[in-house]
Amino acid sequence: MNNPAKNLPTWRDCDVNWDKAFEEYIRENRTLAYMMLKNSGIYKDANVFAQKNIQGAWESITWSEYAERFKAIAKYLINLGIKKGDMCSVFSGNCAEWAICDMGILATRAVSVPIYATNSKEEAEYIINDAGVKIIFVGKQEQYDKAYKIITKNKNLKFIVAMQDNIQIKGKQSLHLNKMIEQGKALKNDKKFDDRINQAEPDDMVTIIYTSGTTGNPKGAVHTNRSFLNGIFPAWRYPEAGPHFTSMSILPLSHIFERLWSYGCMSAGVKIGYCPNPTEFIEYMAAYKPHFMTSVPRIWDKVYGTIHEGMKNAGGVKYMLFEWAKGVGIKAYKTGKYGFKYKIADKIIFSKIREKLGTENCNVYHIGGSAFAPDVNEFYQAAGINIFMGYGLTEFFPVCVGFRDNAKPGYCGCLLPMCQARISDEGEVQLKGGMSMTGYYKNPKATKAIFTKDGWFKTQDVGELLTVEKDGDNLTYIKITDRIKELIITSGGKNISPQQIESLLGNEIFISQFIAIGEGRKFISALVVPNFILLEDYCKKNNIEYTSPEEAVKNPEIYKFYEKLIEEKTKSLGQVEKVKKFILLPGELSQEAGELTPTLKLKRKLIDAKYKAQIDKLYEE
Condensed to tens digits (0 to 9), the pLDDT of residues 411-448 reads 998 999 999 999 999 899 999 999 999 999 999 999 99
Does 207 fall in a domain? no
The mean per-residue pLDDT over the stretch 332-360 comes to 96
Give the least confident one: 1-10, 110-119, 375-384, 540-549. Answer: 1-10
Identity of the residue numbered 463: G
Same domain flag for 136 and 56: yes
Question: Is 208 domain-assigned?
Answer: no
- Which amino acid, one-letter code, is at 599? T
Of 389, 416, 436, which closes a domain?
Answer: 389
Around 220, how many Cα atoms within 13 Å sit in the side-chain half-sphere? 27
Q: Are residues 97 and 159 in the same domain?
A: yes
pLDDT of residue 14: 53
The verdict on residue 217 lying in a domain is: no
Instruction: Compute how many other C-beta atoms are within 10 angstroms of the C-beta atom of residue 557.
Output: 12
- Of residues 15 and 10, the one with the higher pLDDT is 15
Query: Same domain, yes or no, for 261 and 349?
Result: no
The domain in which residue 552 lies consists of 487-618
pLDDT at 487: 74
Residue 352 sits at the vertex; the CA angle it makes with 350 and 355, to the nearest 5 degrees, is 110
* 213 is a domain residue: no
Tally of domains within the chain: 4
CATH of the domain at 140: 3.40.50.12780
State the average pLDDT for the chain: 93
Q: How many CB atoms lie within 10 A of CB 282?
A: 13
Identify whether 398 is preceded by a cis peptide bond (ω within 30 of 0): yes
pLDDT tens digits along 561-587: 999 999 999 999 888 899 999 999 999
Domain stop point among 371, 389, 407: 389
In terms of Cα–Cα distance, which of 498, 477, 511 is closest to 588? 511
418 and 506 in a single domain? The answer is: no
Q: Provide the pLDDT confidence category of residue 267 given band limits of 50, 70 and 90.
A: very high
Identify whether residues 152 and 42 lie together within a single domain: yes
- Please determine, for residue 479, whether its predicted confidence score (pLDDT) is greater than 70: yes
Is residue 214 a part of any domain in this protein?
Answer: no
CB-based contacts of 239: which residues, under 8 Å, 6+ apart?
3, 5, 6, 8, 10
Q: Are residues 244 and 263 in the same domain?
A: yes
CATH (domain of 520): 3.30.300.30
Please classify residue 89 by burial: count the beta carbons closer than 10 Å to its beta carbon, then call 0-12 exposed, 13-18 middle and 19+ buried.
Answer: buried
Domain boundary among 244, 275, 292: 292
Assess if residue 101 is contained within a domain. yes
In a domain, 205, yes or no: no
Total residues belonging to the chain: 621
How far, CA to CA in Å, does 113 sit from each of 132, 135, 231? Answer: 10, 10, 19
Q: What is the pLDDT of residue 472?
A: 75
Residues 25 and 48 in one domain: no
- Checking if the pLDDT of 11 tops 70, the result is no
Task: Say which residue, 13 or 608, is predicted with more confidence.
Answer: 608
Q: Say what the alpha-carbon torsion angle 538, 541, 546, 547 is, to the nearest 10 degrees.
A: 110
* % of the chain beyond a pLDDT of 90: 79
Summarize the confidence of residues 221-230 as an average pLDDT.
Answer: 98
Helix (H) or strand (E) holding 295: strand 292-295
Q: What is the CATH number of the domain that holds 438?
A: 2.30.38.10
If asked whether residues 300 and 278 sit together in one domain, one would say no
Asked if residue 332 lies in contact with residue 342, where contact means CB atoms within 8 angstroms, the answer is: yes
Measure the CA–CA gap between 273 and 292, rounded to whole angstroms.
Answer: 10
Q: What is the mean pLDDT of residues 395-404?
A: 91
472 and 340 housed in the same domain: no
**Rounded to whole angstroms, what are the CA distances from 241 to 274, 395, 599?**
18, 28, 29
Where are any strands of DSSP class E within 364-502?
A: 364-367, 387-389, 412-413, 419-423, 428-433, 439-440, 457-470, 473-483, 488-489, 495-496
Q: Judge whether 506 lies within some domain.
A: yes
pLDDT the model gives residue 283: 94
- The C-alpha atoms of residue 438 and residue 621 are separated, in whole angstroms, by 51
Residues 268 and 140 grouped into a single domain: yes
Task: Decide: 89 and 104 in contact? Cβ < 8 Å.
Answer: no
Closest by Cα among 230, 253, 220, 251 to 99: 253
State yes or no: pLDDT of 484 exceeds 70: yes
Q: Are residues 117 and 254 in the same domain?
A: yes
Distances (CA, A) of 169 to 140, 161, 174, 583: 11, 9, 6, 45
Respond yes or no on whether the N-terminal peptide bond of residue 414 is cis (omega within 30° of 0): yes
Using CA atoms, how far apart are residues 606 and 620, in angstroms rounded to an integer?
22
Could you tell me if 382 and 398 lie in one domain? no
Residue 132 to residue 125: CA distance in whole angstroms: 10
